Amino acid sequence: MKRFGHLWENLVDIGNLYSAYRKARRGKRGQRAVERFEYCREFELVKLQQQLIEGTYRPGAYRTFMLYDTKVRMISAAPFRDRVMHHALCNVIEPIFERTFIHDSYASRKGKGTHAAIRRYQQFASQNAYVLKCDVRRFFPSVDHQILRQRLARKIKDPQVLNLAGLIIDHSNRQADVPGMFPGDDLLTSLERRRGIPIGNQTSQFFGNVYLDALDHFVKEELRCKAYLRYVDDFVLLSNDKPRLAHWRMAIEQFLITLRLWLHPTKRVIIRTCDGIRFLGFRVWPNRIQLTQDHVRKVRRRLRRYQHAFEQGDLSCQEFRQRIQAWLGHSSMTTGSRYAENLLSDILAPRTAAE
């Protein structure tokens, strides 16, 4: 396998850091930390470049908060200058890994995304009678630092780039505990092997794809499943042979142990495609898509937060419109897209009436 070196010069190049800064500020220009950085961005970028060259760069402390969605998640927000650094690293190494990612991996990749994943699933579902839907249990808190470093080193041989990636990995704040032991573990293993990377980092999304790329190739090349796709830690395999899916499920469970991961015990089901599945916030059949009730409740809360921020002056009219239009675009592929517009009208009606 080819390994790539001589990457450090490109990473610390001021043009790369400026590009990373522009990516990091996208959609966040109203935040105070972003505005402070932007006010003296040339100084900040040169300072960051100097710290990288001198080897004195150290990440700052995370700000953590709980996101109450369909389930409770701990979100970790890095300081803005560290988010710039995350994008700078991904700018350089992501294209190297992108070449060997499978086509049907859809999270955090250019030209992919939720809509593309659902359309691809519908294509598979129209040709197969059964689907095995799986979810890795507590994926991000379970990512093993040693294995992740090894996966990165399979493609990267530049020691400075690997050291920077390792610094970001090791700086991960404490994640939720994931109980359980793997074959060969003893009582000290959990202390000797660190695990967990924060949800919210640009690097975490990329590291997640690197980590589970091994699973993708196992399913495609060893199990030879043609109808397979993955979005972060949610993945599906489809076939007309139900017993084969059951066999594949057992094989995947055994393979994930090598990555020190488990399948979610209640989210590894085999069902008929004609019955529809809950997938990426939607209920999906071969020929139609609907919003789930959980998704609708989440959107109600989010839209009301946007409305409140707009009324308090914390969100500009343009940003308010952009976020509303983004959600309408997200829901436009559903069979009930008119329902989405009615939901939006219902939520915003009190403000309109007040005006």
Residue 13 pLDDT: 98
Least confident of 8-12, 158-162, 311-315: 311-315
* Positive or negative: CA dihedral 301, 307, 308, 313: positive
Is 287 a residue whose pLDDT tops 50? yes
H-only helix segments in the chain: 8-12, 14-25, 32-39, 41-54, 80-98, 114-125, 139-142, 145-153, 159-170, 189-192, 202-217, 242-258, 293-311, 317-331, 337-354
| 91 beta partners | none
Report the distance separating Cα 231 and Cα 18, nearest Å. Answer: 29
- pLDDT value at residue 353: 42
In this prediction, residue 7 carries a pLDDT of 97
Burial of 265 from C-beta contacts in 10 A (0-12 / 13-18 / 19+): exposed
Q: Is the pLDDT of residue 352 over 60?
A: no
Q: Please state the pTM of the whole predicted model.
A: 0.86
Whether 172 contacts 152, CB under 8 Å: no
| Three-state SS at 124 | helix
pLDDT (tens digit per residue) in 215-247 = 999 999 999 999 999 999 999 999 999 999 999
pLDDT band at 347 (very low <50, low <70, confident <90, very high): low
| pLDDT higher at 72 or 165 | 165
pLDDT in tens, 117-152: 999 999 999 999 999 999 999 999 999 999 999 999
DSSP for 202-249, please give it: HHHHHHHHHHHHHHHHIIIIIS--SEEEEETTEEEEEES-HHHHHHHH
Distance, CA of 27 to CA of 35 (rounded, Å) = 12
User: Over the stretch 10-69, which tens digit does the pLDDT of each residue have?
Assistant: 999 999 999 999 999 987 767 788 889 988 999 999 999 999 999 999 999 988 877 766
